[in-house]
Every structure is written in structure tokens, then in C-alpha cells.
């Protein structure tokens, strides 16, 4: 019995010595972590970001089929969201430039088919009175958080000339700067 009391006393003394050697956690220190994000002005067109320099296809103007001679035929730009939609960071004042087409000649926009051409015009209004010249800039004003609709209308006529049958096309360059 003496031996078990001695072992118990030795174990108890060892546990108490170990507990006394462990420091008490009585102090607290605090610090900070810096978190940062730099956001630059940006714009999106038709809901697609403009992080790259290529906006891709913004839509198309498809005139209905016509016989070789025809009067005024109207069309309108139709994109993925209907009209062209531009949305930029608040307080940004973007400018849309409607550039040249692949077949421009003598200051006129033209569609081409197998060497034949037909002139067409672009406008900012449905009455087709405000023509968009080649390289014309369209200031879109100072942005809020809402998208701005930019309708683009078109008109083509054979101007009394008999046109050769074919699929007449053109591709107009558009640039958005902010």
C-alpha cells in the first residue's frame, strides 16, 4: 500500500509541476489586414464586357429582299438586346464612333456583291433625317448606372439603277472610347 501511495503522490506532483510550468494566456494583441481593389472605368456593349480590344459583332442590319430596281428600303440595327446597348461606369462619358465600311467609295457607304455596289446610309433617328457620316462620333453623355440605347437606322435605294442580282454586304467598324 505504501508503494501505491508513493506512485500516486509522484504522479500527482508531476501533473501539478507541468500545470505550473504552462503559462497562463492573459494578454491579447491585435493587428490589421489591408484589403484593396483598384477598379478602373469600364464599359459593356450589349451586355458583353469590353476588357479586350475586340467588341465582336454588335448586331446586323438586314434589308428585305428587293428586285433589281427599288425605291427607299429601310432597316435597323438589331443586336442581341434589340438596339445597341452601352453601359459604363458612373460618370464616364463614352463616345461611339461609327467608322468606315469595307466598301466605302467617294465618301459613301456601299454594300458590294461580285464587284457591284449599292450605296446605303446610316442614321440616328427613325425618320432618317440625322445621317451618321463615315467616322462620325456619337457622344453618349455622362453615364449613370443604366445602359443607354443607341438605335442605328439604315436606308438603301437603287437610285433608279438596275442592280445585278446578288447578296450585297458590308462591314462597318465601330469604336467605343471612354
Can you count the helices (H) and strands (E) in the chain? 1, 11
* Each residue's pLDDT tens digit, 117-146: 999 999 999 999 999 999 999 999 999 989
Reported confidence tier of residue 82, pLDDT bands at 50, 70, 90: confident
Reported confidence tier of residue 39, pLDDT bands at 50, 70, 90: confident
Q: Which CATH architecture has domain 43-177?
A: Sandwich (2.60)
Residue 86, H or E segment: strand 84-88
The pTM of the full predicted model, rounded to 2 decimals, is 0.77
> Strands 153-156 and 73-76, how do they pair?
antiparallel
Amino acid at each position: 500500500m505504501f508503494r501505491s501511495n508513493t506512485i500516486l503522490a509522484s504522479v500527482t506532483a508531476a501533473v501539478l509541476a507541468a500545470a505550473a510550468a504552462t503559462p497562463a494566456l492573459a494578454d491579447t494583441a491585435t493587428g490589421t489586414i489591408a484589403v484593396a481593389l483598384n477598379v478602373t472605368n469600364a464599359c459593356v456593349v450589349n451586355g458583353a464586357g469590353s476588357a479586350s480590344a475586340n467588341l465582336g459583332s454588335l448586331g446586323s442590319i438586314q434589308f428585305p429582299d428587293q428586285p433589281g430596281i427599288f425605291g427607299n428600303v429601310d432597316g435597323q440595327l438589331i443586336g442581341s438586346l434589340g438596339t445597341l446597348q452601352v453601359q459604363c461606369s458612373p460618370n464616364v462619358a463614352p463616345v461611339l464612333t461609327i467608322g468606315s465600311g469595307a466598301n466605302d467609295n467617294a465618301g459613301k457607304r456601299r454594300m458590294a456583291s461580285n464587284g457591284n455596289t449599292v450605296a446605303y446610309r446610316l442614321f440616328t433617328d427613325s425618320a432618317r433625317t440625322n445621317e451618321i457620316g463615315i467616322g462620325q462620333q456619337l457622344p453618349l453623355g455622362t453615364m449613370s448606372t443604366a445602359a443607354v440605347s443607341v438605335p442605328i437606322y439604315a436606308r438603301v435605294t437603287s437610285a433608279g439603277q438596275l442592280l445585278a442580282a446578288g447578296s450585297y454586304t458590308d462591314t462597318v467598324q465601330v469604336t467605343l472610347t471612354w
